[in-house]
Amino acid sequence: MASHRVVPGLKSEISGDNSLSHNVSSVTNMLKKLVTQCSSDEYVLINQPGLTYEDLQELKKEDWPFLRKYLVLASTLIGLPWVDEPINLDYLEKYIIHSCDAETINVAHDDEDEVVQYYDTRTRVIRINLSKLPMDRDERVFTIREHDNLIRKIIRKLPSPHYTIILTSDEVESLHPVPPSIVSQMPQVFEIFNDIVNDPSRKEEIERNLNFHEVQPDWIDNKHTNNRYLHNKKKDEIHLFDYELWTKNEKLVTTIFVMIVSLLMFKSISLFNNYKASVIKKKGTDGFLSHSKEE
């Protein structure tokens, strides 16, 4: 299990060292504690049927160049060579969906195109069900390297670097007990990538990826409040004596002013002419009446 972000306190959920098989309930509780923080944007659950701890030895590091790279970059890293029962990935998937409001993308045919590009921020569960590893030595190595490259291609499609990788097998393998003394004497043979997982620097739980920072949004005061609505509404109001408004629309204001003045002058001249005509008509009528009386 490798988490790009640090998730402290996970090892306290599992008891004992790796010389004995771990109880699946304890391992599941550890994974639930990992998920509860919802610190990852993607949870990559990889089921590799036929996988054994021998495939993940330090001596086999050339078979997993890309997976090992992701393990090195992880802030939290745990390797368990033996678990008494397979991890229930279906249950873990549902737990992630419920806890982190996630949705699932399934990869069932060793095909990277089954993971389409997406750019939203919703958490994803990437379920990768790989084809079974063959028994033939050369074919097994070839398949492992193909699957390692497939994992790389899928992870490169993810829009966020904050992911968690869980690699396991849902098949039960026969195990010959190994004395704890032998395991401790030869960790490079029995531990999962001992040079990375059990590196002395891993004893300190620290964030190793401080170069990735989330961009903080430019918060707006009174966001989603009635005050914000009223503030924006007030900004949209047009005020007659707003100097900036007059300056900004100087040409329009000038044009309107000239039109109003012209209209007033036209109305004034029209009224004056009407008045003048009325006066002349009145005088003409009065003169006609006076002339009639004299006759």
pLDDT digits (tens, 9 = 90+) for 112-132: 999 998 888 899 999 999 999
Task: Tell me the CA end-to-end span of the chain in Å, nearest whole number.
Answer: 130
Tally of domains within the chain: 2
How large is the angle between the packed helices 65-73 and 137-157, nearest 10 degrees? 50
Domain closes at, from 186, 203, 220? 203
Residue 254 lies in a domain: yes
User: Cα(112)–Cα(108) distance, rounded to whole angstroms?
Assistant: 10
- 132 and 265 share one domain: no
Q: pLDDT digit string (tens) for 237-276?
A: 555 566 666 676 777 778 887 888 888 888 888 887 877 7
* Confidence at residue 223, expressed as pLDDT on a 0 to 100 scale: 52
| Residue 180 vs residues 26, 77, 176, 190: alpha-carbon distances, Å | 20, 22, 12, 10
* Confidence at residue 251, expressed as pLDDT on a 0 to 100 scale: 75
Average pLDDT over residues 191-207: 93
Average pLDDT over residues 38-50: 97
Query: Which residues constitute the domain of residue 271?
Result: 243-294
pLDDT surpassing 70 at residue 101: yes
Q: pLDDT digit string (tens) for 55-81?
A: 999 999 999 999 999 999 999 999 999
- 162 and 94 share one domain: yes
User: Cα(146)–Cα(112) distance, rounded to whole angstroms?
Assistant: 12
Residue 23 lies in a domain: yes
- 261 and 115 share one domain: no
pLDDT band of 231, cuts 50, 70, 90: low
Average pLDDT over residues 2-8: 95
- 52 and 192 share one domain: yes
- 33 and 145 share one domain: yes
Residue 260 lies in a domain: yes
Residue 136 lies in a domain: yes
Residue 235 lies in a domain: no
Residue partners of 200: CB distance under 8 A and separation at least 6: none
Residue 213 lies in a domain: no
- 50 and 124 share one domain: yes
- 272 and 126 share one domain: no
* Confidence at residue 172, expressed as pLDDT on a 0 to 100 scale: 86
- 165 and 104 share one domain: yes
Residue 180 lies in a domain: yes
Whole-model pTM: value is 0.70
* Confidence at residue 44, expressed as pLDDT on a 0 to 100 scale: 98
Domain closes at, from 153, 177, 203? 203
Domain closes at, from 172, 203, 234? 203
* Confidence at residue 236, expressed as pLDDT on a 0 to 100 scale: 58
* Confidence at residue 116, expressed as pLDDT on a 0 to 100 scale: 92
Average predicted confidence (pLDDT) for the chain: 86
